[in-house]
Chains A and B, each alone.
Chain A
Amino acid sequence: MKKFLTRLTSVILAVLILAFIQELLMPKYMDSIREGNLVEEYYASNKDHDVVFIGDCEVFSNVSPITLWEKYGITSYIRGSAQQLVWQSYYLLEEMLEYEKPKVVVFNVLAMKYNEPQKEAYNRLTLDGMKLSKSKIEAVKASMTEGESMISYLVPLLRYHDRWRELSGEDFRYIFKKEPISHNGYLMRSDTRPVTVVPDGRKLPDYNFGDNAWHYLEKMTELTRENGIQLMLIKSPSVYPYWYDEWDQQIEEYAEKNGLSYVNFLPLAEKMGIDYSKDTYDGGLHMNLTGAEKFTDYMGGILMETYALEDRRGDSKVADIWQDKLAYYNWMKQDQEEEMQKYGYLKSYGAAAQAIEQEDGGQTRQ
């Protein structure tokens, strides 16, 4: 008996030590590449959302759930991640249904341009943050590129074991706990870099979306239908990557055929009051805070009208929760403004130093 207990203790200790080492070596995504935290942050939310957005950086950069709450009393969450592929969106949606059932799911359709797995680095940003589940396993299977292995997603230590060379302060600071960096999945950026030139779309040999992409969009449509959830398709008003008319037409036809609402917000930029010289932080790829708030405000009106959502600002329990979120949002707004004034860029928010014009016409980087 004593021998058994000793061995059992050794095994438990071994697991704990390896778990600790794994936690230490896994990237923390706090000082940079903050997008890496978005998927994981969802699990700490209260999971009572009227609307859930899924998709790539065109949702997590361009949509503000706080604005939807403030203006319309809609509760929402963005289950977005960097270059989230359509099959990842599907499995994140499937997994989310284990926790809650929103009235509406909004999917940004840019991801339809990708028919195959793309890059391990982006897979990691979406998949490492998922809790272990059947949905995660299927998402990994659908996403792995050549050379990747399932076991490295189930035991990330096998992937990140050589990060010991790159360990920095953040790996130790955040080993046990991380503060939330998003606002219900929205990653705030209040800096500005205007659109100057945007390349025209290059001619493609084939404008048809691939079978794999369609397969997962169809699964998403079916899954939402089976669960009594409305699915809305959108194209966010980011001007790059280029959104072809041929792609737009395919989505329009699909939406019509399946009784779904689809809105391409690019032609509505002026109507929304979006000024691409002021409302983007990277030359038109993503909205900054003012751009996100304008876009969200406009979209909120469509959501209310199309889906008859309830204004929940009168519900004191819900309002209390969102009051805290609003306070954090306003704090970060203020903090970012102060950083911009102090450093000229969002130093602690993962932004790169921008070149600043000197008085003599030269340029320098901070």
Chain B
Amino acid sequence: MKKSILVILLASILLAAGCGPGGQAQGDTQKESFVFEYNGVEINLHADAATIIEELGEPMDYFEAESCAFQGLDKTYFYGGFELTTYPNDSDTDCVSVIYFNDDSVSTREGIYIGSPEADVVEAYGDDYTGGGGSYTYTQDEGSIMFVIEDGAVASITYQAIVEGM
């Protein structure tokens, strides 16, 4: 009997200790994807947002949304022509999750802006997209860029970090 109890306790300790920490925290390694540039500031998806926001300067507006249950906030900063949204990674660092164009005063590095003809998107980014017709999504490593098309022209442009649950 005593032997059995000892075995059970040892097994419990091994079960608890035998597993390592959870999956690799996002943001721990540099992830590569599409880059947006604004006023000389390079904005990478998944990048630490604090430095970028400091370089961009005071936003015109700010909005934050607490997630349904978890600590940490999704934050949106409004600048001239675009919005930048962040998410808290596993280390509680705010990382860039979305860049969304609001008007045609900004363009992608590849020269596409709101109002660009649909054909220009494919010319700039190629055939390796998903969607087609109403939208074109190009994926590169840990992020994507999506163009929504209305009446033959780009109606919206969204850079989106690939994050579990988003």
Which residues of A are in contact with B by a Cβ distance under 8 Å?
A: 6, 9-10, 13-14, 17-18, 21, 25, 32-33, 35-36, 56-57, 82-83, 118-119, 121-122, 125, 145, 157, 161-162, 164, 196-199, 202-206, 240-241, 282-283, 285, 352
Contacts and interface: CB of A to CB of B under 8 A. Distances in A.
Interface size class of B (residues with CB under 8 A): 35 or more
Complex A-B, nearest 3 residue pairs according to Cβ-Cβ distance, in ascending order? A119-B165, A205-B135, A203-B156
Contact of B63 (A122, A145, A283): A283
Contacts of A241: 65
Interface stretch (B5-13, B42-50, B105-113, B118-126): B5-13
A21 B100 CA distance: 47
Contacts of B16: 21, 25, 161-162, 164
A204 B100 CA distance: 11
Nearest to B150: A203
Given A161-B15, A162-B21, A202-B100, A122 B71 contact: no
Contacts of A352: 66, 71
Given A18-B12, A25-B16, 14 more contacts: A10-B4, A17-B8, A21-B16, A57-B68, A119-B164, A121-B70, A122-B165, A162-B19, A199-B76, A202-B100, A203-B150, A205-B135, A282-B65, A352-B66
Nearest to B76: A199
Given A202-B158, A283-B63, A32 B146 contact: no
Contacts of B58: none
Interface string B133-149: 01101000000001010
B78 interface: yes
Contacts of B158: 202
Contacts of B66: 282, 285, 352
Contacts of B148: 203-205
Nearest to B133: A205
Majority secondary structure of chain A interface residues (helix, strand, loop or mixed): loop
Interface of B: 1, 4-5, 8-9, 12, 15-17, 19-22, 61-66, 68-71, 76, 78, 83, 100, 131, 134-135, 137, 146, 148, 150, 155-156, 158, 164-165
Nearest to B3: A10
Contacts of A83: 68-69
B12 A205 contact: no
Contacts of A203: 148, 150, 155-156
A199 B63 CA distance: 7
Contacts of A197: 61-63, 78
Nearest to B137: A205
A125 B134 CA distance: 36
10 contacts: A121-B69, A122-B68, A161-B16, A164-B17, A204-B148, A205-B137, A205-B146, A241-B65, A282-B66, A283-B65
Contact of A202 (B12, B78, B156): B156
A238 to B, nearest CB: 11
Contacts of B12: 17-18, 21
